[in-house]
Structure 1
Amino acid sequence: MTRSVSAWPSATWWRPAVRVAAVLTPLVVCAILFTVRDQVTAATDVLVLVLLVVAAAATGDRLAALLAAFSAGVWFDFFLTEPYLRFVIADAEDIEATTLLVVISLAVTEIALWGYRQQGREARRSGYLEGVLGAARAVAEGTTPAKTVVDVVARQITDVLEADDCRYVAGPVGDVRFAVLDHDGVLTRNGRPVDVDRIGLPVDEYVAIPVRRGAEVVGYFLVTAVSHAVFPTREQRRFAVLMAHQVAALGSSA
């Protein structure tokens, strides 16, 4: 199954632990920098704290990064601006430095998270392509039983669409109530397009992905997504259709 790069470890303590660290680490670092404040410039202090925010953003958790940015600004004010050890800033340059710290931290957070999302997208795309190529290879070699190929494709479609279940049904789509996913990734229901990006896949009805051999529909994959709302992208939907079409080459043995 293809996982998002931003997926967290399964341990339930991990996310809260990262967020607690995002709050406490700037406190500890600012306290250390306070002891050497005469040897370190304010610009260096800001860079060190920005690095901490980057580290928090690298986890892929926006809240952790925002907490780190807020904590860095607060403790920079408390430890590293005059009057020291008070939440007061008397010097205009210190006010500017604190403001820049927070603004830069927030900007870096968004840039880091954007890069994280792009990396996740590329990983998912690579996984989808591997699935399609694997199915095509199994069909071309002809050594894998048709039922096994169909089962593998069904699992891949389930994963790509983040659905609950998927199974193959031989023959044309017989129920007009089914929503139908076409080769362009467009979902239609009762002849009308469904805005999947906004409302997700139907939770009250099946989604059918027809398998065509030429103009003939030889079967279809029946997708169920009833336990939770899912919003597969147009690209994900097109990959699902592409994988379903691999079954057409199996002939009547499917």
Structure 2
Amino acid sequence: MRIPLRDAVAVAVAVAAGVVAPFAAALVLLPLRTSVTHTNLALLLVVVVVAVSALGNRPAGALAALSAAAWFDFFHTEPYQSFHVQDRADVETAVLLLVVGLIVSQLAAYGRTMKRVAVTDATHLERLHRTTRLARSRTSSGDVVQRVRQELVDVLELRACRFEYGTLIGRPPRLDPDGTVQVDGWIWDLERQGWPEGEIELRAVVQGRYQGRFLLTPEPGSVPAPPEARLVAVDLAAQAAAALDEDAVSAGRRP
């Protein structure tokens, strides 16, 4: 799978910051090394690690911790401009700087993950609520299908999505209710192989009654949506199926 260029650039910038920022901070602190205790200098470098961890990613935070410990040793412990440390207290300070920096980077990464999960869950919930409100507003099932098509493009980050009424022609890859994708009867390894080629079928079924199918076209080489997003897509398709089924009842096409 190809990583989007924007994401690759962001990762590269974060990693570069993890290496360069502690080095720059250690240089800036050089005039203070004879007037400020080594412990306080290490605490100031921890602030840099925290900043990189908060703004970057987990690898950047870990690199920042390693870089901070190395440049603290190089610039602020005797003998200066050497990675050799003579004083045991300085060794302990450098080790603690590294350990604290690594812990902080992990905590920052965990916090970002939890925030991202909370925001994503709230967005998915709002998608489902919007579609439910539309389906209950006595609008036509066609409007509901159109809304679901738009929501599927957004939630799965698709290039296109179309709907076929009541047809089951061919055997394209299929997105199942459990969020997995089947290709020729086998579960496709999305994490390792990415989206399969061509359109992917998502059936609109309610209480065992087939109403049609959405045909999903992912962006070439894009990273598949996470399992939570795929399950939301299945729920959206079910809402479209329910609207179509209700219209069929109203029109007398189903007893």
Aligning the two structures, in what range does the TM-score lie when normalised by the shorter sequence? 0.7 to 0.9
Unpaired segments of 5 or more residues in structure 2? Answer: 249-255
Q: Distance in 2 between matches of 1:48 and 1:191?
A: 58
What secondary structure, in the 3-state scheme, does the structure 1 residue paired with 2:158 have? Answer: coil
Query: Which of 42, 48, 69 matches 1:52?
Result: 48
Residue 91 in structure 1 maps to residue 87 in structure 2: yes
Q: Distance in 1 between matches of 2:208 and 2:195?
A: 26
Cα drift, residue 122 of structure 1: 1.9
Give a deviation string over 1:171-192, Cα, whole Å, max 9, x none.
13222x2122222223222222
Work out the CA distance in 2 between the residues paired with 1:86 and 1:184. Answer: 58
1:122 corresponds to which letter in structure 2?
A: A
| CA–CA separation in structure 2 for the residues paired with 1:18 and 1:194 | 33
Partner deviation per Cα, 1:23-64 (whole Å, 9 max, x = no partner): 444334334444333543322222221221111111233443
Percent of aligned pairs with the same residue? Answer: 33
Note the C-alpha offset of 1:223: 0.7
| Residue 116 of structure 2, aligned match among 106, 116, 120 | 120
The question of whether the paired residues in 2 share the 8 Å contact of 1:172 and 1:217 is answered with no
Contact persistence 2:14–2:56 (CA under 8 A)? no
Distance change (3 Å), C-alpha of 1:20 and 1:207: closer
Quick one: structure 1 residues 168 and 80, their matched pair in 2 at CA, closer, same or farther if it must change by over 3 Å? Answer: same
* Aligned twin of 2:178: 184
Q: Contact 1:135/1:149 (CA < 8 Å) preserved in 2?
A: yes
Question: 2:218 — aligned with what?
Answer: 225
22-31 or 217-226, which moves further after superposition? 22-31
Provide the rounded CA distance (Å) in 2 between the counterparts of 1:167 and 1:76.
59
Is the Cα–Cα contact under 8 Å of residues 211 and 219 in structure 1 kept in the other structure? Answer: yes
The 8 Å contact of residues 158 and 216 in structure 2, kept in 1 or not, is answered as yes
User: What code does the residue aligned with 1:182 have?
Assistant: D
User: Is 1:200 the counterpart of 2:176 in the alignment?
Assistant: no
More displaced 10-residue stretch of structure 1: 13-22 or 24-33: 13-22
Contact 2:195 2:218 in 1 (8 A): yes
TM-score between the two structures when normalised by the length of structure 2: 0.81
Q: Which residue of 2 aligns with 1:3?
A: none
CA distance in 1, matches of 2:155, 2:144: 16
1:168 equivalent in alignment to 2:156: no
State which drifts further: 116-125 or 24-33: 24-33
Deviation at 1:226, TM superposition (A): 5.3
* Counterpart position of 2:152: 157
Query: How far, CA to CA, are the matches of 1:193 and 1:31 in structure 2?
Result: 54
Residues 142 and 60 (structure 1 numbering): CA distance in 2 closer, same or farther, change over 3 Å? farther
Any idea what the Cα deviations from partners look like across 1:66-85, whole Å, max 9, x if unmatched? Answer: 44223312321122211234
Aligned residues: 244
Does residue 142 (structure 1) correspond to residue 138 (structure 2)? The answer is yes
Structure 1: gaps spanning 5 or more residues: 1-6
Give the conservation status (yes or no) of the 8 Å contact 1:197–1:232: no
- Residues 65 and 98 in structure 2, CA contact (< 8 A), matched pair in contact too: yes
CA deviations over 1:99-134 (Å, ceiling 9, x no partner): 222232123212211221222122112111111110
What TM-score do the two structures reach when normalised by structure 1?
0.81
Partner of 2:239: 246
CA apart distance, 1:139:
1.0
